[in-house]
Amino acid sequence: MKWLVSLVGAGLVMLTLRDLFHTLWHPTRHGGLSRLVMTALWRLARRFRPRRRVVGLVGPLAMVTVVGMWAFTVVLGWAIVYWPHMPGAFTFSPGSKAAQEPALLDAIYLSLVTVATLGLGDIAPGEGWLRLVSPLEALVGFAHTAEARTRGTGRRSLLVVSAPSLTTTASDARAAD
């Protein structure tokens, strides 16, 4: 039963990463979850049509909402992965009262700390597979934070490498000389 719950959490993480990929990098730029959130916010804004300021804020608000939704679902998904294995598969620092807290609270705390790449060390994975999975969560959190910051400022993506065009015309070659 523990593994089934962990698979549900992994499925939530994968669903979120799929939506993130399809929204940011896929040629169609249509992620399922993010599209639903943005459509709902735009429909809600139509009700406030006379107020132009409200409609003007919908785009940035929708972007922040989608990024927040991605962060929330990634943290929740990883917490569900950890939850059934708390506290037995983890080590707690001496003097820490974390083991006395409910397992779900510890799992959410560990997930938030790992996604934010803080790595406080008061709860650490003890089993081998968790020691491999936990850094993957930190990598996902780092990539999500970097991409959200890049998209929010309007700069080019840090995670997508763009290659220069391989074709040049004769006039481009002459201009370079």
Q: What are the pLDDT digits (tens) for 60-119?
A: 888 888 888 988 999 999 999 999 998 888 888 887 776 677 888 889 998 998 888 787
pTM for this prediction? 0.73
Residue 108 CA to its chain's centroid (Å): 15
Among the residues of 87-163, which ranges form H helices?
103-115, 128-153
pLDDT digits (tens, 9 = 90+) for 128-145: 888 888 888 888 888 877
Residue 47 CA to its chain's centroid (Å): 30
Task: Return the beta strands (E) in 8-142 as ranges.
Answer: 90-92, 123-125
Q: Which of 140, 145, 150 is nearest to 17 (CA)?
A: 140
Omega into 135 within 30° of 0, i.e. cis?
no
